[in-house]
Amino acid sequence: MKKIAILLFATILVSNLSLFSQTKTQPKVVKFVIHTDLGDMKGQLYNETPQHRDNFVKLAKSGFYDGTLFHRVIMGFMIQGGDPDSKNAKPGQALGMGGPGYTVPAEIKPTITHKRGALAAARIGGPSNPQKASSGSQFYIVQPQQGTHFLDNDYTVYGEITEGFDVIDKIAAAQKDERDRPLKDIKMTIKIVE
């Protein structure tokens, strides 16, 4: 009888430790808010793309994105930001080449697609970037209702907007110049929600 009680106690202890270790190793969902001149967007980052998630968190917490612009907007396609050169850019200045000085290795997942509100990493395309490494800071948010699935498996999608789709649409509808830069600057601040 004593052996059965000890065995039962050991079984319960092992199963409880197993449950504890599963919940302890399960990463929490990282949430963020993008404050803009046209309203706020709330979203979350995916744990399936840990390098992009952690890089976005690091940059947001350091204030890297604060004061940057949505510098490229295309209705029916996407809104793009995250270029540090946009912070003090003069009207008409070409943007889209700035970054933190590094790239992030691609984390393309076939099951994570370019649906409406998808947060994805911009990158240099073509033969100069065969590994599809992502920009260290620039990102885009998918605008159209049907998504932009022709970009699936080509760019890393690492999060999504969950609230504020009307803000995406307002930004995409902004009047812009021939480089798709809004004529009136649309500044952002990104905060990680703990």
CATH number, domain containing residue 165: 2.40.100.10
| Domain assignment present for 182 | yes
Tally of domains within the chain: 1
**Alpha helix segments (H runs only) across the chain:** 2-25, 50-62, 165-172
Domain limits at 102? 28-193
* List of residues 6+ apart from 94 with CB closer than 8 A: 179
Instruction: Look at 1-5, 28-32, 138-142, 171-175 and tell me which has the smallest mean pLDDT.
Output: 1-5
Instruction: Indicate the pLDDT class of residue 183, thresholds 50, 70 and 90.
Output: very high
Instruction: Give the model's pLDDT for residue 25.
Output: 66
| Domain assignment present for 7 | no
* List of residues 6+ apart from 19 with CB closer than 8 A: none
Residue holding tokens 């911009």? 122
Instruction: Indicate the pLDDT class of residue 52, thresholds 50, 70 and 90.
Output: very high
Q: What is the largest CA-CA distance in the chain?
A: 84
| Domain assignment present for 44 | yes
Give the 3-state secondary structure of residue 149. Answer: helix
Global confidence as pTM: 0.86
| Domain assignment present for 129 | yes
| Domain assignment present for 10 | no
| Domain assignment present for 148 | yes
| Domain assignment present for 6 | no
- For residues 188 and 194, what is the distance between their CA atoms, to the nearest angstrom? 19
33, β-bridge pairs: 42, 191
Question: Phi-psi bin for 96: left (phi > 0), alpha (psi -120 to 50), beta?
Answer: left
| Domain assignment present for 19 | no
**Average pLDDT value for residue range 111-137:** 95
Tens of pLDDT, residues 75-91: 999 999 999 999 999 98
**Average pLDDT value for residue range 18-22:** 48
Instruction: Give the model's pLDDT for residue 84.
Output: 98
Instruction: Give the model's pLDDT for residue 27.
Output: 79
* List of residues 6+ apart from 87 with CB closer than 8 A: 67, 68, 69
- For residues 108 and 69, what is the distance between their CA atoms, to the nearest angstrom? 26
**Amino acid at the residue 86:** S
Token couple for 55: 């890089």
